[in-house]
Structure 1
Amino acid sequence: MSAFPGLQREPHPFADADIDNHHFDHDGMSYGCRVVTPRRPAGEPLLVIAGGMQDMYSWARLERRLGSQHQILIHEIPDVDPAPDKAYNWEALSSAVVRTLDTLGIPTCCVLGPSAGYPVAYRLAQKHPQRVSRLILMGASAHPVTAVTDVVREGQRRLALHGPAAPRSPDDADHARDVERVVSVLVNADAARTITPVRAAARVLFNRLYTAPWDPLVHYASARGHLLFEGMLPPGGLSGVPTLVCTGEYDTTTTPEQNREIAATIEGAVFLLMKNADHLLHMERDAEFADLVSRFLTGASLLDLPYCLSPEASIATGN
């Protein structure tokens, strides 16, 4: 039985583990946290801070591969509240994560911050290093690229006109173009033409957005909105927490150079590029990504991995 009244525990369909789906309210923000608990845990808990347009059900492949070894927490980040009186910022989101860890009784854990989840993960390690044993940042950048900026700005324009519940276009062709526009900022089209896993991830993402009832640009803007333009990378750098920064070699959403720049703000960080991969590593190369995560969490060597380019050790320069 779950330790939380009214919470239904269920067995995991793939891993030798149980699942608890929690729902929290903190300072006016509502969000979920999925907890996969192995029956015979062998490692530290892994906290995944969901990226843009992700929820607590978006990491099933990682659950399947690591859920029998590590307790995995998939922490949602609530959408932007358009009300101007709401104190919605990266610090507030980090505080919500700390509150969740306190509520669940987890004093320390490994943390994975993918894409738009990385600013929260970075702050968590920066302000509460005693609670973060290891940190993985995947697809991180200090500023959004132009294509992302353009999509978010258009989504914000529609959000102001129609509100967060803006429906999809009634014209299927227009809706398909909107979906393709969002997919194009998350997937490298050139890589998708030649690399099957990248193309498959793009197809999954397209189908997920196309079948949803809402406007995909509004949804994308609501996922982080104005926060993408407000100091994703906090000043002061980071030290004292073993850190891996990684992305795919063909990532155009957060380029390899942008990720490398984030690694340079972290003392002793390791920077890796995954071969034949783009921005969505957990979807494109899920087996290799899970292996990389497992290796880093257990302190195994990251040298000579067949699916990665040679690791680079960062020389922290601060920021």
Structure 2
Amino acid sequence: MHEHEPSTIETHETNQTQQSHATAADGTRIAYQVRGEGRSLVLLSGQANSHHWWDPVRADFDAAFRTVTLDYRGTGDSDRPDEPYSTEGFAEDVVAVLDRLGIARADVYGTSMGGRVAQWVAARHPERVGRLVLGCTSPGDRHGVERGAEVNAALTDRDERAARAALVDLMYTPAWTATHAGPFATLGDRTMPAYARRRHRMASARHDAWAVLPDITAPTLVLHGTDDRFNPTANAPLLAERIPDARLELVEGARHAYFEEFRATASPLVLDFLA
């Protein structure tokens, strides 16, 4: 469908992971990582996180797919311009990575803010998306269900340790943290400068894909934990009803990081859908 010339950017492999950079339309360098072989599957991480978000479960997908991750601008090994970011812009960065790799069509699995980015990829570039999985995400606060004020207050506590503990509690159940001390890959990229964190937060907060959700033509699975307060579970049926013929699956008892804590349930659900 699309043919692309090989990039002159050096590519190297580390622990069977091919790593390099794509160049976005505005010249920003976007780091990406490729593992495995077969049909391409793009894995999109949450807000203010690099590709390491997927470290705990990526092996589940490497066995069946050529998995592609990226570091959003502002994170990881990507450039960190101090300018407004948006979920629409992140989606175009994803397409730049696909172009760089010569991938005409890929399945896309986005979680949290990555699910918001995935909505734009699927709606604006339907020919590039085979199957779509939207995990623990929402259509945007304007038409979705906002998290409670108490959650926002806990996350913005001036006591950094208290805010981090609140985030862990929103991600995982007490039963999980009682036996898993961390470190956790889902709590944010600590190498990010403060301005980039703010830019990510605003990009996610301003997301509104409601108008284009009916344009999504890819077979879609909407996946969410039943006990998610970070991104309220009520957003899942809203997405499933708005996207034509979407399928909804709820993971009982799971919080925001359902894909990690409830890996034994979530990964097979996704793999079965993608198959």
1:131-142 equivalences under 5 Å are 131-141=128-138, 142=140
- State whether residues 112 and 135 of structure 2, in contact with CA within 8 Å, keep that contact through their aligned partners in structure 1: yes
Q: Check if 1:187 corresponds to 2:171.
A: yes
**1, 14, 26: which is aligned to 1:10?**
14
DSSP-derived class of the 2:249 partner: strand
Change (3 A) 1:7 1:272: same
Task: Indicate whether 1:222 and 2:198 are aligned.
Answer: yes
Residue in 2 that maps onto 1:106: 103
Q: 1:138 to 1:224 in 2, by over 3 A?
A: same
One-letter code aligned to 1:22? S
Task: Note the C-alpha offset of 1:4.
Answer: 6.5
Q: Secondary structure at the match of 1:251?
A: coil
How many angstroms apart in 2 are the aligned matches of 1:230 and 1:180? 26
| Cα deviation digits, residues 41-84 of structure 1 (max 9, x gap) | 3xx2110111123212221233222212100011222239784x
Given the alignment of the two structures, is residue 36 of structure 1 paired with residue 35 of structure 2, yes or no?
yes
Q: Give the secondary structure class of the aligned counterpart of 1:241.
A: coil
Shift of 1:9: 1.7
2:93 equivalent to 1:96: yes
2:270 equivalent to 1:293: yes
Aligned residues: 258
Distance apart, 1:139 and its partner CA:
0.6
Structure 2 residue runs without a partner (length 5+): 1-5
Contact 1:50 1:114 in 2 (8 A): yes
The RMSD of aligned alpha carbons is 3.3
Q: Is the 8 A contact 1:65 1:287 kept in 2?
A: no
* Counterpart residue type for residue 12 of structure 2: Q
Deviation at 1:210, TM superposition (A): 11
Q: How far apart, CA to CA, are the structure 2 residues paired with 1:220 and 1:200?
A: 33
- 1:162 matched residue in structure 2: none
Q: CA deviation at 1:24?
A: 3.6
CA distance in 2, matches of 1:291, 1:70: 14
Amino acid of the structure 2 residue aligned with 1:35: V
Is the contact made by 1:21 and 1:33 (CA closer than 8 Å) also made in structure 2? yes
AA in 2 matched with 1:187 = M
Partners of 2:207 and 2:111 lie apart in 1 by: 17
AA matched with 1:106: I
Q: Distance in 2 between matches of 1:260 and 1:36?
A: 32
- The answer (yes or no) to whether the contact 2:22–2:100 under 8 Å persists in 1 is no
Amino acid at match of 2:113: A
Structure-2-length-normalised TM-score: 0.80
- The aligned amino acid for 1:204 is G
Higher RCO (Cα < 8 Å, 6 or more apart): 2
2:133 alignment partner AA: I
Distance 1:211 1:243 in 2: 29
- Residues 252, 151 of structure 1: alpha-carbon distance in 2 compared, 3 angstrom cutoff: same
Partners of 1:36 and 1:73 within 8 A in 2 = yes
The residue matched to 1:99 in structure 2 has which SS?
helix
**Structure 1 vs Structure 2: percent identity of aligned residues?**
22
Residues 16-31 of structure 1 mapped to structure 2, 5 A cutoff: 18-26=16-24, 27=26, 29-31=28-30
Change (3 A) 1:231 1:54: closer
Q: Detail structure 1 runs of 4+ shifted over 6 Å in the superposition.
A: none
Given the alignment of the two structures, is residue 241 of structure 1 paired with residue 218 of structure 2, yes or no? yes
Q: Post-superposition shift, 1:219?
A: 8.2
C-alpha contact (below 8 Å) 2:47/2:201 kept by paired residues: no
Q: Residue 51 of structure 1 aligns with which residue?
A: 46
In the alignment, structure 1 residue 272 sits paired with structure 2 residue 256: no
Contact (CA 8 Å) 1:49, 1:74: kept in 2 or not? yes
Amino acid at match of 2:171: V
**Deviation sequence 1:9-60 (CA, Å, 0-9, x none):** 234xxxxxx311223442254432111023xx3xx21101111232122212
Change (3 A) 1:235 1:146: same
Residue identity matched to 2:14: E
Evaluate the alpha carbon distance shift between residue 208 and residue 140 of structure 1 in structure 2; reply closer, same or farther with a 3 A threshold: closer
